[in-house]
Structure 1
Amino acid sequence: MDRNENYLLKNREMIDRELDSFFKMKLDECRDPVSRDMVARIRDFTMNGGKRVRPILTIAGYNLFRGFDERITKASISIELTQSYLLIHDDVMDQSETRRGKPSFHAGVRESIPEGTWDRKRLSENLAIVAGDLADSFANEAITRSGFGHKEILLATDLLAEIVEYTGYGQLLDINSAMDEEFGQKDLMRLHLWKTAKYTIEGPLMMGAVLSGSEKNLKPLSYYGYLLGLAFQLQDDILGLYGNEKTIGKSVKNDVNEGKKTLLMIKAMEYSPEYMPFINECLKNGDISDEDFEKLKDIVKSSGSYDYSINMMKKLAEKSKSYLELVDGESETKNFLKWFADYIITRQN
């Protein structure tokens, strides 16, 4: 295992221990069985897999300017708890039944409600929405309990609020895209900047940097995060169509059945307009057949859309690394972030 892989593994283990400790504290604070059951479910959902990319990047953002400090591990779990909040709500909106190869949060709650109970579907979704709200509250609590000074905590919580705000704007664009016949590449890039890049790469890095107390120019780090965040989403979309279901933990038909206008779909319609009616029908179907799904995949590749997405992803990752060169930070952490840019666009889940 090389130095960069060890950095990932070491920090992931510390983050998992901190998450476990945090949830033990929250469970001890519960005063009734209903609350305790829901907190336990949030814990299980959060701890069930996940690469811990976001909290690792929070630690890396801190390590660029300061050495190891257990406070940053405590604070870093806030972004993982935020992810749980966003994923729980996202799965309700998308009506997704699986997450990371297991039932999504609301699907798991529904299974626990006795047969014959009035409107199990609605009840489980209502409970999931509340659980997401609780996870959001936990995220802020993780920062305030981390041990940093008031100034750093204020800056970090303000940034976390901004991350959630822009993720919300991105989600609005995502939902609206299904109704927008003119939705194109520029709209999609704005969506990805707000919904993915902000909370997956740029935001976590900047949280770590502000918690370090650094007063250096952080704009190059922000640009690195935004560009790599776009590349991250393009790889997600590619895996969502061509990935291995066991590896990605969900059906490869999900994005199509949810009607997502990914770059793969947008460019396929642009490059092969004769297939536009077929592609639009696939995106509106909601339950695409195996035969049509295979045909759609073939169209995306034969049209040149697949190659376009791959090339754009690689260019974004390379451009992100050029901005990293302008960051006045610790060299080993910068080397990790360069390696991470390549890791992001070659990962298989």
Structure 2
Amino acid sequence: MEKYEELFARIKEKAKLIDEKIFELIPEKDPRVLYEAARHYPLAGGKRVRPFVVLTSTEAVGGDPLRAIYPAVAIELIHNYSLVHDDIMDMDETRRGKPTVHRIWGVNMAILAGDLLFSKAFEAVARAEIPPEKKARVLEVIVKASNELCEGQARDLEFEKKSTVTIEEYMEMISGKTGALFEASAKVGGIIGTDNEEYIKALSSWGRNVGIAFQIWDDVLDLIADEKKLGKPVGSDIRKGKKTLIVAHFFENADEKDKQRFLKIFGKYAGDVKGRGIIEEDIKSDVMEAIDLLKKYGSIDYAAEIAKDMIKKANEALRILPKSKARMDLELLAKFIVEREY
């Protein structure tokens, strides 16, 4: 991963600019409990990849990244708002190695904290020092992405009621849930940096493909990564019964006997397994059997190839942009997404 070290350094450098503005918008003030809850995830860290994409996309088309800081902050705040609400819906206990917002402050305050993050995002756009017509367009892009984010999450919730989903259904869901905000990040940067519509279109295409590939690769890593690097048990998605592209491919290709065996394991270990007296070794044995079934039909390799193809398509779209350090950073970031091990 040595070739990425300089990229990581630049991401960290730009993250400092973003964090300064985040905590300017969400200071320590009354009602103290609300602002503490809203600051919890931004303070817990996060790589600030989406705001990095905003600033770097602006640079890649010849614009001044400093003018894109507040819109970049807006994207990051919307991302954090979605995490707060997702954690409530999934009743997750931890996020970024810390207790989730609803676990510390309760569901009601967590909902309010999420709402505050969402509203502060639009305050951030209002503060942007860009021409009014560009500001209006940036706002339109962020609103559209927020709508798609909600639609994607709604589809994901609907998946919980289904025993199986199709590849088409999964791709539609993930396009909204992760693709939309990545696309918005790149597109917003393009709008601020240039009036060249072809450049803006290229950045939009890059962002959508990278966002979808990011999630698909996450799903692949859940099944093949080293547990210590991953920071959670391998096969967590199988334990929870999470519908992924891998699972969708399996159900479209497996025979009936293998489908039924997989379904007996899939989602069996969601919730409180300790309370049910289930032994961890039994869980691991079942999960490995399920992973072997997915491998039998090439479902993991299929998803990995889809993710890699999307990254290739994303970077091909950038070829229309002038060669620059910023364009190279976007290309490197995309490549890292399908080469990372965690």
Which category of TM-score, normalised to the shorter sequence, fits these structures?
A: 0.7 to 0.9
Task: Give the CA RMSD over aligned residues.
Answer: 2.4
User: In the alignment, which residue of structure 1 is the partner of 2:193?
Assistant: 212
The count of aligned residue pairs is 329
Instruction: Say which of 293, 306, 311 aligns to 1:317.
Output: 311
User: In the alignment, which residue of structure 1 is the partner of 2:111?
Assistant: 129
User: In the alignment, which residue of structure 1 is the partner of 2:51?
Assistant: 55
Does residue 149 (structure 1) correspond to residue 131 (structure 2)? The answer is: yes
User: In the alignment, which residue of structure 1 is the partner of 2:223?
Assistant: 241
Amino acid at match of 1:190: E
Superimposed CA distance per residue, residues 254-281 of structure 1 (whole angstroms, 9 cap, x where no aligned partner): 4234422111212233333222123223
Is the 8 Å Cα contact of residues 269 and 275 (structure 1) preserved in structure 2?
Answer: no
Q: Structure 1: any 5+ residue segments left out of the alignment?
A: 110-123
Identity %: 28
Structure 1 window deviating more from structure 2 (158-167 vs 8-17): it is: 8-17
The structure-2 alpha-carbon separation of the partners of 1:2 and 1:242, relative to structure 1 and needing over 3 Å to count, comes to closer
SS where residue 338 of structure 2 aligns?
Answer: helix
Is the 8 Å Cα contact of residues 11 and 52 (structure 2) preserved in structure 1?
Answer: yes
Deviation above 6 Å: which 4+ runs of structure 1? 1-4
Cα distance in 2, alignment partners of residues 150 and 15 from structure 1: 26
Cα distance in 2, alignment partners of residues 249 and 134 from structure 1: 30
Does residue 347 (structure 1) correspond to residue 340 (structure 2)? The answer is: yes
TM-superposed deviation, 1:156: 1.1
The structure-2 alpha-carbon separation of the partners of 1:108 and 1:346, relative to structure 1 and needing over 3 Å to count, comes to farther
The structure-2 alpha-carbon separation of the partners of 1:209 and 1:84, relative to structure 1 and needing over 3 Å to count, comes to same
User: In the alignment, which residue of structure 1 is the partner of 2:329?
Assistant: 336
Amino acid at match of 2:259: M
TM-superposed deviation, 1:307: 1.3
TM-superposed deviation, 1:94: 0.9
The structure-2 alpha-carbon separation of the partners of 1:178 and 1:281, relative to structure 1 and needing over 3 Å to count, comes to farther
Is the 8 Å Cα contact of residues 55 and 68 (structure 2) preserved in structure 1?
Answer: yes
Does residue 84 (structure 1) correspond to residue 80 (structure 2)? The answer is: yes
Cα distance in 2, alignment partners of residues 41 and 245 from structure 1: 30
Is the 8 Å Cα contact of residues 186 and 207 (structure 2) preserved in structure 1?
Answer: yes
User: In the alignment, which residue of structure 2 is the partner of 1:121?
Assistant: none
Cα distance in 1, alignment partners of residues 96 and 171 from structure 2: 25
Amino acid at match of 1:139: A
Instruction: Say which of 302, 310, 317 aligns to 2:296.
Output: 302
Cα distance in 1, alignment partners of residues 173 and 81 from structure 2: 19
Cα distance in 2, alignment partners of residues 18 and 148 from structure 1: 17
TM-superposed deviation, 1:56: 0.6
Q: How does 1:262-277 map to 2 (within 5 A)?
A: 262-273=244-255, 274-277=257-260
Is the 8 Å Cα contact of residues 38 and 117 (structure 2) preserved in structure 1?
Answer: yes
Is the 8 Å Cα contact of residues 27 and 36 (structure 1) preserved in structure 2?
Answer: no
Structure 1 window deviating more from structure 2 (162-171 vs 220-229): it is: 220-229
TM-superposed deviation, 1:53: 1.0
Cα distance in 1, alignment partners of residues 192 and 69 from structure 2: 11
Q: Structure 2: any 5+ residue segments left out of the alignment?
A: 274-282
Amino acid at match of 1:86: S
Cα distance in 2, alignment partners of residues 40 and 20 from structure 1: 16
SS where residue 27 of structure 1 aligns?
Answer: coil
The structure-2 alpha-carbon separation of the partners of 1:140 and 1:25, relative to structure 1 and needing over 3 Å to count, comes to closer
User: In the alignment, which residue of structure 2 is the partner of 1:279?
Assistant: 262
